[in-house]
Each structure stands twice: as C-alpha cells, then as structure tokens.
Structure 1
C-alpha cells in the first residue's frame, strides 16, 4: 500500500505515549452527552468512527472538573465524580482497539458559564464578563482558587484511571484559566493579577496539581490562545512571556487562538487559509523546544505534511475536518485525496447547533456524524429505479446514497454542470471552500456504476417515465426572492440601471476594480447573502450601506460567522440600517423608510438580496402524473423551502433511505 505524506504519518513519542501518526483530533464540544454529564452510546460511537478512521491522538472534548460552577454546556461531559469513570473507560478502550491514543481536556468555564444552566452566578478572576453582554461574574477568593486547582488534579487522576493516555488543561478560549491569563479579564491586585507572573500563577497551580496526580509518565498538554487577537489582549509575544512560568511540566502545547470576542479566529472563518495559525505553533516550539500542535482550517493533507516537514509543529490538529470526514487519515495516507469530504467551514451544524442552540453536533456535508457510512451495508433486496430531478447538493447526495445501496439511479440536470447554487456562491473569494463539497459529490458520483448523470436536460414527466421509476426525487432548488416592490423588476437586469442580484455580482466578479474608494454600495437584505456582498465590497474601500427590515443584521448566523461579519462591518465603517423597509427601487437609488422617516440611499452599485424561495416548477406535474401509480415521489431540499445546505443534504441521505426502507426495498 502506498504511504502518502510521509512526515504526517510518522510516529511520535511523548513520555510513555507513542502516537502512530501526527494527526490529532481537536477537542470539540458535541452536545452528545447525557443531561447528567455521562458519556452516551452515541458519543462513544462518534469517537470510535474517528479512531477507526486512523487518527493518531483523539483529544476528547472539554470535560467539567467542578460542577455545576464550572459547567459550560447543557450536556457537557463531567468528571467531578467517580461515577463517570466506567463510561470514560469504555471510550478509551474502544479508541485503543483501533490503535488511537486518547486524551481528555479538563476545563472550568469560569465566566463563560451561564446561570440559566448552572443555577448560580458565574465566577472568574475578576467581575468582568467573558464577552459583550455576558453575565457579570463573581471574583474568586484565594481559597476557592486552591480548591479548583485541586479539582483539576482529582479529575486528572480519574482520567488516568479511566485509561486515558494524556490529559490536557484548557487555558484558552475565554475559559477560567484564560480569564486569569488575559489582561482583558483580570484586574486583580493580589498575587493572581497584575504582572505576567501573577496572572500565570493560577495556571501554574493547576499544572502542579495535575502533575502530582498523574505522576511522571503521563504527558500533559496545555491548550492556549497563543494570540488572543483582540485589542488589549495577549499577543504572541505576551504568550511566550507567560509560558516561561508554565512550560517545565508541560509536554505538549496545543496552540489555538482567540477569545469569545474573536471567535472567528478560534473557530476559523471560512476565508482563513489552510494552516494560517502554524506560525504560532512554530514560535512556541522554537522557544521552548517542546512539541506543538498546529491547527487552523487545515483541510489539505499536503499543507499538513508541509507544516510538519518544515518544523513549524510536531502535530496537526484537525477539528471540523474530522466531523466532516472521520476517514480523513486513511484517505490521505492510502487513498485518493479527492475522496476526502472536506469541511467547508460553514460552521452551521457544529458551531451553530451547539453555541446558543444546545443541540447535538451535526454537519452540512456529513449527514451522519455518529454512524457514518454504515448505511452502505444494507443493500436493496430487489431492483429499484430512482430518478432524481436536479443536480444541486441535495440532489447529488440523494442520487449517490440511492446508488450506494444498489438502486439504479438517473439524475437529470438542466444545466451543463451539476453542483447547483453552491458552485456559484463558491466563486466569491471568501466562499471558495464551499466549492469543495460539490467537487467531492461529483467525484463520488463518478465512481458509482449504478448512477447515470444526464446534464443539459430539462426534466419532463415523459423523460422521467422512460426510466420506469419506483421513486422520483425532486430537488430543483431555489431562486432569488423578488417581491412586488415598486421599481424592482423594472430596474433589475436593466442595462440603464445599477441594480443587481447576487447572481449578477457573481457573474461580474472579475470586472470589479480592486480599489472602490469613494464608490457607494447599497445592499437590501442583511441576511447571509447580503453579508456576502458586503464582505466583498467593503474591504475594497466602497462605502457600504446595509438595509434590513428586521431589528438585527445577520439573524440566525452562527457565532463565528456573526463575529467575523461584525468585525468586517466595524472595520470598514459599514452603515447598518435596521428596522428599515425598502419602498421603491430607482435606477441609482433605493427609497427606504424607518419609523416615520423616509430616506433616499444613492448608489453606484445596488444589490437586492432578500433571500431565496423554493423553485419546484415540475413538482406539481410529477405528483399528478404518478398519482395512483406504484411510484413514490419525494420533494427535498430548497425545492420544499429555501433553507441551507445542511437541510437538503440531510434529506438527500436520510429521507431517501427511510423511504426505501418503508417501501420494502431494503
């Protein structure tokens, strides 16, 4: 068997732990635990999938050492009592059976805890909230600090008893230890505040308690926000200084970045390049001569291998990439990189579900993060013909899924290429990662003997009947929503006007000047599409105005994307007009109304981005044509209701499988 990327797949030993390769699964909250903090069967299966996929070291998501005070989630794992050891032991045992080492991240949320979940006021280094609008915490006493440090030690001992090979102390991301290290959240005047040494003192206490508990053979990892990337926060140089007081008992540095208010650099925004944070890992590695983990939107195995080869880091941290494809490692090492289902950094099913949503982790491109591709094991037991109308991401997932279980599938696509709206959106510079998914789907489809894709073909009932279908799936997607606003339809796509849609922008991406200083851009609609327009024009110097009828811009966005968009709008002084209605569209201006005030917004480029609506032009015909016949019909994705990729892909997998099961084909 070939061995691609030799640097990435070399073993590495830290104290008594030998990791078979340099790939580390990052500790990411999943909300898969039970409400009592115990590891569920689903949880264990989720980690087992990644161990089976070849990950060298799995770092289990942050686990609460002091409950309820230090809890940061409604279903966060707990390790504050011996009763949690058996299930943790089962997890470690399962991962070891697949050759993976396994560590666990110990954490106290501090001011990032919520009283609505814990029933008590959050605690911290000082009475400073961990984020804008957050709860005001109570300042911890010295006695409490020593007690919490001891909780870390006891938790570490339980982890070792449960069979974990490594323990990690979370000292970043606006959690309790981070709140002591960061000058933004620590204004104490005692020995735990002020100087760098004093701010590092609590972390030092924790490290010492953990080392005392685990002994000399078990490695300790320290996760850091190496650069907080917030004005007034710790910089890389500050981190290197405080680590002088912490490094001696630390065996591995997990070099992350960001705080709550810069979460787009902690949970990387989609525009950030593969491995963009590796310079942080290199700086720590060079100074302390200890192994580091580099991370940051790493999707490409070649880039990961290069980071190891040039000595920036000793390990590569993959987070969302392993949610998207638990087999990333085996595909990179032995297979075809095109088979990797790359994370598109949309942050919808992972960040969006968990942070503020209290929902289990999901993924836009991987419809089953727990059981993976087990569905392929149950094939159809009799011939089944499936016709899919529409080759967007929902239609492609449906077609591939049906073919993979043995159906004979024909996909009809009216355009010359499949991929749908995601291909178009990925042409926007900040959205290029989105294109990885349709590329993966096309590659996956090309390998399936039971799947025939017919492009440049408008589906009709007559064409569908030619394939004698048992199941017809309509997945014709969505089109822009254009309500009957005065002047809108007359000026949109009018060569004598300056009014455009997102589609027009995409088609003209290569024609916009790099420098648009002094040009006025007005965007109607402050949702995801309108913000894509803003994100393209504002950095080029244009004076951008966003007009939104609701009271908030970016409603429904995940925390990382929302933070990223707010940063862009603030940096480039974007005018935000909320509670504002569009009343008329002129050739070079929008007329709007907010309250009793009317205003005309002039522009050089005016964009109408009022969302999308279902496009199901043939659905009624399909229903009528096959009514009363032994043919099942399904409508999935945006052609039901304009939503997100995650919804259509989920239906393309699970609704199709459940329908085949219900009809008795499996």
Structure 2
C-alpha cells in the first residue's frame, strides 16, 4: 500500500524534516553511566538510516544524578545533559543522524527526584507535598521553594545550550505523563497558593520560565517542542477542555510545535498497552489543532501505518509519532518510502520493552532481538561468501524460532537454507496465539511474507527423524521443534468437557482430538479442509458451539489470563489459580491493568485454590482451608506443562555429532547462549514466550 501523506516533508520551526515519521522519545536503558556510548549511537543510527525524519533522544536529564540511587528506576537510564562531559556523546548522536538525513531532538527531562548540585543529596520533590511524587517514589520528601524552582529553570537552560553545542536540532520539553513539569501544570498535583499554583498561567509558569530561559541561552532560532498530556486521566486533573487556555498561555512565550499525549504514570487506567484501543487518544491532537497554527501531532498507542496515514488525512495531526514501533522496526520510513510497507515488522504491543525499562534494565523487544543483543550486530554486518555461503543448512521446525533463524541466515548470504515442519503451514504456535490476540495476525502475515521475499525453502507436512537428517546431508542442523507437553494428572482430565492447549492446537491444525464430541470432531475436520482461516477460528471459539457459556480456566498465569481475557465475552468465566496471586509471567506494565479489566468484566479469579477433579458439574476444588467446593463449568480449559523435547537431538548427536547441531526455542527451555546469561536480567525462563523463541533464532543465526 502507498502512504503518500507520510512521505511528504514538513517543518518544525526552521528545521526541515524529510517525511512525517517522528520517532518519539524513549528511555531504553542503554547509557553508560548517563553517557551516550557506542550501543546507543548504533541504536539511533539504525533508525536514522531507516528513514525517521525526526529522532527524539529520550529522557535527557537536567540535574546531576551521578553516584545516586534514584527510587524511580528509569532515571538510571537517562542521558546526562547536566555537564559538558556529555557533549561528545551527544555530538556523535547528532552526527550519525545527520549523516543519514534525520534530525535530532533532545527531550529535556526531570522525573521525580532532584538536587541543586552534585554535592547535595537527591530527594523526591513535587510542587505540592500532599500528593505522591510518582511511581516507586512515594510521598515527596520536599516541596519546591521558589529559589529551587529558579535553579531548575537555569538547569534546563544550560542543558539546552549543551544540546545546541552538540549539534542537536530541536529541544523538547517533557511536560507530560506526570513528570515534574506536568506535575506543576496539572490541577491534580499542584495545590500551591503562590505564583506557581492556582490559575492556568501560574501552573504553567515553570514551563514558560523554562521556555524563556532556553530562548535566553540558545537564541530564538532553536526550535522548541512541547510534549504535553492533554488529558492526564487523574481525578481533578487536566482535561481536553483545558487545552485552549494552556496552548494560548504557552505559545505567548515562543514555541514551535506540540507533541500531544495522554496520561500520568500513576493514572488509574493504562494508556499504551494492548488493553488500550489503538489511536484512542488521537482526538486530543485534533482538538489541540483547533487552537494552534503550529505543527501538532499525537503520540500515544499508535503502531499501524494505516492509522498513521489517517492521522494526516483527517487533520488529526501534522506528523505520526510512534515510539515502540521504531524499537520493533528500525526501517519504517525507508520501507514506506520505497513502497515496501509489507516488509515493516509489526510491533505487537506486548509491553516487554517497558517491562524491562521500568525496572531499570536494558530494553528488550519480542520481535527485534538486536535491540537487546546489539553486540551480535545485523545480518549485513556478517555477510558470508564463497564456500561458507554454499553451506547446506537444515532447520527443523517452522515456528518463530526456526523462521527467525532462517531469515537471518538468508540475509547473511547463506544460499541453501531449508526449513521443514510436520504441520500443514508455517508459524507454529503463532497460528493458535493469533486467534486469542488481535496484535498477532500481522506477525503471522509478516513471517509468511518474509518466507516469500527471501526465497526460504519451507517444506511443510514433513516428518523428520534421525534417518531424514542423515539422508539430507546438511552441514548445519538447527532443531527448533518446540516442546513436548503433558497435562497434570487430574481425575477426569480426559472428559469430553475438558479441553487442554494441545487440543486447541490440534483444532487449529485440523486434527481431531478423540473423545471431545461430534461438534469438536466436525470442527477439526472443517479446519483441516479449509486451512483453518483466522476469521473462522475466532468465530468458532467465540460461539458456544465448542466452548460453552460457563467456562473454567485452570491456571492464572500468562496463558490462562490471556484465554480468560479473549474468551469471556458472553460467558461466565472462572480462573482457578493455586498460588497466592494470579498473573505470574505477566510483566509489570500489563499485570494489574489486565487483572482489573477481568474483574470489571465479571471474571472470577480464585487464588489459593487446588484442583481436585473434573466432573460433569465442573471443577472440584479445595480452598486454602481444605474445604471442597465445585466451580460450575460446562467447558474446562486446562493448561499443559512444557517439557524438554530433546529426543531427536539426543539421537542425532550420536550420528551427526554436536558441533554442527543446535537445539533452540522451547525444545529446550534451558538453552544458554555464550555471553547472554550474564547480560540477561531475566536469564532464560522456564517457559519461553515469543521474545525468547525469536531471540534464540536470531542468536543461532548470527553466531553460525
């Protein structure tokens, strides 16, 4: 598809931008003691080369936090701009962006903790001491005095000047999401009675004084961009109705563009995860455009190109601001410009990037392993030629791990890469997962497109044993065969009303599971004939033909919660979890919002509850006090335990040897990679999700 509007240039102040793609600011926790080093420069260079028009360097911290221990973990990954020692790293970043035609903005930031100089103690601060400082921080230790505010303003001005000296093109002031400048603006958090509180003009005074100071230090030719939460979603806070007054107040001091977002970090509802409909907050930018003639664009929960183009087409914004999609895909701009939009790797909005960042760990991405493992480089960095390129490589398993290995090997220049799988079509468990998660179908489409684009030889309906491996004669064999599964030995587990994940997988594959009844068998047969089209699978599981109205889900971890979330409409759902809390394996960003959503939708979650048996009536349970009771259910969805699937590997070792045999993905949950364990804050979890599967495929391909 062509995206003509996204390819048009525009300007912010005196800075010309080559297209409408703005890479919004992020903290990705890749600084070296607040310095920009090789890793971060490489991260931004990839995206400048990939066609971003404006790249925003996130969280450029204005006050000295050297040798401190901030309670707000994300501060530790900030880019320092409080001292001249940071200018060389900033200069390198600006130079690589300019080299590839992108412009660079620095987002000046003050989170929740502050000190005047490096000699002082770091304390949590706020405009008013009676409101929580921010997540992880608790109640503020101090309330800003007017003298301290003057120091903050000066820190912003000096930081902006350093950015200008480094060749940075635009200064952004972060006045959103509940950070310090926003805390002064918001009626929720600012209860002051002096000239910094009360009226809109007073609450915006810190921001406008910072703007004036930047003009003073940098001159009027340095464009200033304001990132502002037009609805902070807090009780008694900023609302869309306040936009006109805020914009008029701020623009009197001379700014050049608006980046409009929503939310506070401690807001009672999420703004950026899968629970939020894509584009929900675009209307805030459209409303802001009523009151300004300056460039204005939205930037909260946007991850599809069609949505980006629509923003421009209907006048909701002058650019498309995205952050996480630029983590997932560093070449969005160039692929769109060249008419290759089908090659743009999707962001699946899984929040695993944020899960790491919010605990002060380096950014990870489920679909782009290079973000975390940048030391292994890109396929273009490790091209093979001659005899090496002619190596015969066999990959067993066409799930995400196997396909990721195949595509990276092909991009490195290996000519003879073959993928075999016993199933009817590639993508493995993604074919089932996409039925439950609406962000995953684009990932399935993307992998299928990559197979065609790169000419990967994928052979489905192919059963592999050690004799097949011997006869194939590969130089390298990668086994990505997935795990073995077993169901807990619960009385009644084979009953007609009990469906485990193995049965669901067989439904998608068009295979019948014995003993599940006529409709189940008929549906499996139909799926096999029709090729299991996504829409039909979603319809079938949404009706009460296969999964009845009263449903019990055994296990309240990641998989159980996803099943309950995706299948509770029109059903009475109970989740049964033996642990004290549900949500194990769900990250910090999604866990509480997901559990709150289920509760709001009427899903019952029973914790500290053991399953004793499955019966005609439902699930016989035992509570923490040993009392037995029955959860009524017509359909019982149970999980399976994944165990190592090493039989083929063990057999092949004796025939092929270990040197050229590689076991990856969920076939062996404990796969360790040289140099990875020490750098990986989560290690290798017992159950690998998409992130770990794709990671394994990337690493085996890059190290071959």
Q: TM-score, normalised by structure 2?
A: 0.84
Q: Which moved more, 1:177-186 or 1:314-323?
A: 177-186
Aligned partner of 1:602 in structure 2 is 632
1:393 aligns with 2:397: no
After TM superposition, the structure 1 = structure 2 runs for residues 125-524 of structure 1, keeping only pairs within 5 Å, are 125-127=127-129, 128-130=131-133, 134-138=137-141, 139-248=143-252, 249-262=254-267, 265-266=270-271, 268-270=272-274, 272-348=276-352, 350-356=353-359, 358-369=360-371, 370=374, 371-379=377-385, 381-382=387-388, 383-404=390-411, 405-428=413-436, 431-449=437-455, 451-478=456-483, 481-487=486-492, 489-491=493-495, 494=496, 497=497, 501=501, 504=504, 509-511=538-540, 520-524=550-554
Aligned partner of 2:24 in structure 1 is 26
Q: Which moved more, 1:438-447 or 1:603-612?
A: 603-612
Q: Is the 8 Å Cα contact of residues 263 and 559 (structure 1) preserved in structure 2? A: no
Aligned partner of 1:647 in structure 2 is 692
Aligned partner of 1:558 in structure 2 is 587
Does the residue aligned with 1:368 lie in a helix, a strand or coil? helix
Once the two structures are TM-superposed, the CA of residue 301 in structure 1 deviates from its matched residue by 3.0
Q: 1:440 to 1:250 in 2, by over 3 A?
A: same
Once the two structures are TM-superposed, the CA of residue 26 in structure 1 deviates from its matched residue by 0.8
1:633 aligns with 2:661: yes
Q: Is the 8 Å Cα contact of residues 279 and 300 (structure 2) preserved in structure 1? A: yes
Aligned partner of 2:41 in structure 1 is 44
The alignment's C-alpha RMSD in Å is 2.9
| Runs of at least 5 residues in structure 1 that lack an aligned partner in the other structure | 661-666
Aligned mates of 1:515, 1:652 — CA distance in 2? 38
Q: Is the 8 Å Cα contact of residues 380 and 407 (structure 1) preserved in structure 2? A: no
Q: Which moved more, 1:554-563 or 1:287-296?
A: 554-563
Aligned partner of 2:61 in structure 1 is 64
Q: Deviations over 1:414-440 (max 9, x none)?
A: 111100111211112xx2222222322
Aligned mates of 2:478, 2:643 — CA distance in 1? 19
Aligned partner of 2:675 in structure 1 is none
Aligned partner of 1:663 in structure 2 is none
Q: Is the 8 Å Cα contact of residues 56 and 105 (structure 2) preserved in structure 1? A: yes
Q: Deviations over 1:489-547 (max 9, x none)?
A: 223xx1xx26554864986642466899x954432212111111221244x25443332
Does the residue aligned with 2:321 lie in a helix, a strand or coil? strand
Aligned partner of 1:623 in structure 2 is 653
Once the two structures are TM-superposed, the CA of residue 265 in structure 1 deviates from its matched residue by 4.5
Q: Is the 8 Å Cα contact of residues 590 and 601 (structure 1) preserved in structure 2? A: yes
Q: Deviations over 1:267-325 (max 9, x none)?
A: x2235455443221111112222211223444443432232122211111121111111
Q: 1:177 to 1:39 in 2, by over 3 A?
A: same
Q: Deviations over 1:433-480 (max 9, x none)?
A: 22222322222222334x311101111222222320111111112365
Q: 1:216 to 1:335 in 2, by over 3 A?
A: same
Once the two structures are TM-superposed, the CA of residue 133 in structure 1 deviates from its matched residue by 6.3
1:74 aligns with 2:104: no
Does the residue aligned with 2:60 lie in a helix, a strand or coil? strand
Q: Is the 8 Å Cα contact of residues 233 and 268 (structure 2) preserved in structure 1? A: no
Does the residue aligned with 2:5 lie in a helix, a strand or coil? coil
Does the residue aligned with 2:394 lie in a helix, a strand or coil? strand
Does the residue aligned with 2:370 lie in a helix, a strand or coil? coil
Q: 1:562 to 1:236 in 2, by over 3 A?
A: farther
Q: Which moved more, 1:60-69 or 1:599-608?
A: 599-608
Q: Is the 8 Å Cα contact of residues 352 and 557 (structure 1) preserved in structure 2? A: no
Q: 1:426 to 1:503 in 2, by over 3 A?
A: farther
Q: Is the 8 Å Cα contact of residues 275 and 594 (structure 2) preserved in structure 1? A: no
Once the two structures are TM-superposed, the CA of residue 655 in structure 1 deviates from its matched residue by 2.2
Once the two structures are TM-superposed, the CA of residue 264 in structure 1 deviates from its matched residue by 7.2
Q: 1:247 to 1:96 in 2, by over 3 A?
A: same
Q: Is the 8 Å Cα contact of residues 178 and 232 (structure 2) preserved in structure 1? A: no
Q: Which moved more, 1:161-170 or 1:451-460?
A: 451-460
Once the two structures are TM-superposed, the CA of residue 25 in structure 1 deviates from its matched residue by 0.8
- Which of 90, 95, 98 is the equivalent residue of 1:96? 98
After TM superposition, the structure 1 = structure 2 runs for residues 523-562 of structure 1, keeping only pairs within 5 Å, are 523-538=553-568, 540=569, 542-562=571-591
Q: 1:211 to 1:566 in 2, by over 3 A?
A: farther
Aligned mates of 1:244, 1:556 — CA distance in 2? 46
Aligned mates of 1:211, 1:164 — CA distance in 2? 15
Q: Is the 8 Å Cα contact of residues 591 and 600 (structure 1) preserved in structure 2? A: yes
Q: Deviations over 1:358-411 (max 9, x none)?
A: 222222211213444434534464331111111000011112222333141221
Once the two structures are TM-superposed, the CA of residue 247 in structure 1 deviates from its matched residue by 2.9
Aligned mates of 2:137, 2:490 — CA distance in 1? 40
Once the two structures are TM-superposed, the CA of residue 612 in structure 1 deviates from its matched residue by 4.1
Q: Is the 8 Å Cα contact of residues 590 and 602 (structure 1) preserved in structure 2? A: yes
* Count of residue correspondences: 637
- Which of 12, 24, 30 is the equivalent residue of 1:14? 12
| Runs of at least 5 residues in structure 2 that lack an aligned partner in the other structure | 509-536, 670-686
Q: Is the 8 Å Cα contact of residues 131 and 261 (structure 1) preserved in structure 2? A: yes
Does the residue aligned with 1:261 lie in a helix, a strand or coil? coil
Aligned partner of 1:664 in structure 2 is none
Q: 1:300 to 1:638 in 2, by over 3 A?
A: same
Aligned partner of 1:572 in structure 2 is 601
Does the residue aligned with 2:590 lie in a helix, a strand or coil? helix
Q: 1:499 to 1:419 in 2, by over 3 A?
A: closer
Aligned mates of 1:611, 1:292 — CA distance in 2? 50
Q: Is the 8 Å Cα contact of residues 297 and 316 (structure 2) preserved in structure 1? A: no
Q: 1:592 to 1:313 in 2, by over 3 A?
A: same
Q: Is the 8 Å Cα contact of residues 228 and 258 (structure 2) preserved in structure 1? A: yes
Aligned mates of 1:623, 1:240 — CA distance in 2? 70
Once the two structures are TM-superposed, the CA of residue 233 in structure 1 deviates from its matched residue by 3.6
Once the two structures are TM-superposed, the CA of residue 192 in structure 1 deviates from its matched residue by 2.8
Aligned mates of 1:142, 1:190 — CA distance in 2? 9
